Amino acid sequence: MRIACPFCGERENGEFTYLGDASPKRPNFAVDGGESPERVEDAFYDYVYLRDNVAGVMREYWYHGGGCRSWLVAERNTVTHEFISVTAAPGAGAASAVRAGE
């Protein structure tokens, strides 16, 4: 398998580490912001545990740890192993970025 790091170019998959589904977003909440603890806990439960078992194109986190140390978001077909796109995480590099959902 070869993964095209947007910074480094195409590399063999041994340089990368797989994390999993890139769709769940870590819930944002303000401590003592008045949100019900149950709702916050439910949101985190979804974020931590609930995953779709996709047969087809899926967005995934990959880490180029054996390279530029960038976190990447890849669209990959889990059936054919074909990568459709690979983009950098919002905070890779030093460009100004905002937290997801803000």
Partner 1 sequence: MADFSWNVQSPLQQALVPGRHGGAGTQVGVTLEEVRGVSLVQVMARRGRVAETIKAAKKLFSVEPPDTPRAVSGRNATLIWSGPDQFMVLSARQTGDQFAKLTAGFAGVASLSDQSDGRCLIRIAGSGARQALAKFSSLDLHDSVFPAGAAATTAVDHTAVNFWREPGSVDENAVFNMLVFTSFADSLWHTILDSCLEYGVQASVAHAA
Partner 2 sequence: MSGYSRSEPLARTAPMEANVRKGVTPASQSHRLPGDGIIDRRLPLQFSFDGKTMTGFAGDTLASALVANGVKLVGRSFKYHRPRGIVTAGSEEPSALVEMRTGARREPNTRATTQELYDGLIANSQNRWPSLRRDFMSINQLFAPIFVAGFYYKTFMWPAKFWESIYEPMIRRAAGLGKSAELPDPDHYDKAWAHCDVLVVGAGPAGLSAALAAGRAGSRVILVEEDTLIGGRLLSDGGEIDGLDAREWLRGAARELVSLPNVRIMTRTALFGVYDGGTYAALERVSDNVAMPDRHQVRQRIWRIVAKRSVVTAGAIERPIVFPGNDRPGVMMASAVRTYVNRFAALPGKRVALFTNNDDGWRTVETIERAGAHIVAVIDPRHEVPAQYQRLVDTYDLRVLAGVVSEVKGGVDGVRSIVVANDKNGLTQRIDTDCLAVSGGWNPNVGLSCFHRGKPTWREDIAAFVPGSAPKGMATAGAANGELSLSACLREGHGAGARAAAECGAAGKPGEASKADDEVYAIAPLWHVKGKGKAFVDFQHDVTASDVTLAQREGFESVEHLKRYTTLGMATDQGKTSNINGLAIMAEATGRTIPETGTTIYRPPYAPVAIGAFAGHHRDENFHATRLTPSHHWAAKQGAVFVDTGLWKRAQWYPRAGEKDWLETVTREVLAVRNGVGFCDVSTLGKVDVRGADAGVFLDRVYINSFSNLAVGKARYGLMLREDGIVYDDGTTSRLAEDHYFLTTTTAKAGPVMQHLEFCRQVLFPELDVQLTSATDQWAQFSIAGPNTRNLLRALADPSEDLTNEGFPFMGAREVKLRGGVTARLFRISFSGEMAFEISVPARYGAAMAENLMIAGKPYGVTPYGTEALGVMRIEKGHVAGPELNGTTTADDLGLGKMMSKKKDFIGRVMAGREALTAPNRQVVVGIKPIDKARRLRSGAHVIPKGAIPGPQTDQGYVTSVCFSPMLDQWIGLGLVERGRERTGEIIRIHDPLRNEDYEAEICSPVFYDPEGVRQRG
Binder to partner 1 among 55, 96, 98, 102 (CB under 8 A)? 96
**For partner 2, the closer CB: 13 or 85:** 13
| Pair 68, 5: CB distance under 8 Å | yes
Residue 37's Cβ-side half-sphere holds a number of Cα atoms within 13 Å equal to: 1
Q: Which residues contact 54 (CB under 8 A, 6 or more apart)?
A: 21, 78
C-beta neighbour count of 41 within 10 angstroms: 11
Interface region with partner 1, contact rule CB under 8 A, candidates 5-13, 27-35, 38-46, 53-61: 5-13
Minimum CB separation of residue 85 from partner 2 in Å reads 14
Chain contacts with partner 1 (rule: CB under 8 A): 7-9, 11-12, 14-15, 65-70, 88, 92-97
